[in-house]
């Protein structure tokens, strides 16, 4: 064991001797308080240890822990835990800036803490409302902050069956008609969500405005962004879309029953 250690030490010493011949490395060694002409592995190790121990301060400890949290954000796949880790990292770096007297560092990371907090609150609120919606409240109010306003007049066609689909609609005012199944869509209902779920993103029906109204729109790309920020949203959205589809099927069944009853009465 002693011979093996001596061999490793000898090899490292040779590497250091070769590196010391480089002028730039020699300058670094001088700045570190080492003699470039008489450098050994043990001397370098001891000097680095001295520097490390000399720089162990409370401020630097906060900076090191904060750096770990920032590295952790690179390994996270969802937005909520990433925001939490980022907030903790920013708080620790803000404390580092305060303890070290670095005003710019302190102000920068102190500002980032509430920014991350606001975004985290928005995401948690979105997931909470989506969860609440799947438990019976079919309101889509929770999506409004992510949507843009658009107005339609009577007779306007929002989209046609088999058209390429790239956005979803939430009705606010007015009335809209799904022509293929003759179903009116009142305010507060979704339109075009099934195109988001179809393999080729194609419209499954034609929707026409039958009373002047206003809608809110959100692109499928934005929906995907929200989904990747928190995969739970994808599950809740799928449940909502499934419920809408089941409602449409139920309406169609009721219409068929009514038509059959009418036909039977006429024959009778």
Residue 131: what pLDDT?
61
| pLDDT at 268 (0 to 100) | 61
Give bridge partners of residue 20 from the DSSP assignment. none
Stated pTM of the model:
0.47
| Per-residue pLDDT, 154 | 93
pLDDT at res. 45: 72
Q: For residue 235, give every residue at least 6 positions away whose Cβ sits within 8 Å of its Cβ, in sequence order, or none.
A: none
CB 192 within 8 A of CB 167: yes
Residue 20 confidence (pLDDT): 53
Q: At what angle do helices 231-267 and 220-229 cross, to 10 degrees?
A: 130
pLDDT of residue 226: 76
Q: What is the pLDDT of residue 28?
A: 67
Going residue by residue through the chain (268 aa), what tens digit of pLDDT does each one get?
445 555 777 777 777 666 555 556 666 666 666 666 666 777 777 777 777 666 677 888 888 888 888 888 888 767 778 888 889 999 999 998 998 888 888 999 999 899 888 888 877 777 666 565 555 554 566 677 788 999 999 999 999 988 888 898 989 999 999 888 788 888 888 888 878 777 788 888 899 999 999 999 998 888 887 777 666 667 777 777 777 777 777 777 777 787 787 777 777 6
In sequence order, the 6+-apart residues with CB closer than 8 A to the CB of 166 are 195, 201, 219, 220, 221
pLDDT value at residue 143? 74
Q: Is the dihedral of CA 24, 29, 33, 39 positive or negative?
A: negative
């Amino acid at each position: 064991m002693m011979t093996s250690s001596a061999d490793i030490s000898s090899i490292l010493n040779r590497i250091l001797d070769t590196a010391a011949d480089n002028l730039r490395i020699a300058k670094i060694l001088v700045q570190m308080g080492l003699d470039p002409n008489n450098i050994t592995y043990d001397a370098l190790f001891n000097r680095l240890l001295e520097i490390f121990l000399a720089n162990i301060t409370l401020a630097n400890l906060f900076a090191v822990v904060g750096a770990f949290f920032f590295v952790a954000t690179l390994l996270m796949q969802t937005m909520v835990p990433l925001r939490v880790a980022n907030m903790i990292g920013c708080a620790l770096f803000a404390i580092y800036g305060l303890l070290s007297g670095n005003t710019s560092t302190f102000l920068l990371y102190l500002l980032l803490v509430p920014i991350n907090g606001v975004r985290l609150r928005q995401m948690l609120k979105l997931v909470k409302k989506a969860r609440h919606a799947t438990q019976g409240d079919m309101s889509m109010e929770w999506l409004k902050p992510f949507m843009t306003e658009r107005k339609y007049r009577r007779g306007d066609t929002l989209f046609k069956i088999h058209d390429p689909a790239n956005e979803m609609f939430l009705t606010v005012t007015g009335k809209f008609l799904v022509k293929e199944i003759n179903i009116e869509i009142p305010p507060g209902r979704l339109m075009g969500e099934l195109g988001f779920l179809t393999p080729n993103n194609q419209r499954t029906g034609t929707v026409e405005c039958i009373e002047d109204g206003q809608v809110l729109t959100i692109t499928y790309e934005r929906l995907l962004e929200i989904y990747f920020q928190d995969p739970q949203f994808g599950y809740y959205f799928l449940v909502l879309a499934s419920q809408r589809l089941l409602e449409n099927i139920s309406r169609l069944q009721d219409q068929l029953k009514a038509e059959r009853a009418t036909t039977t009465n006429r024959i009778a």
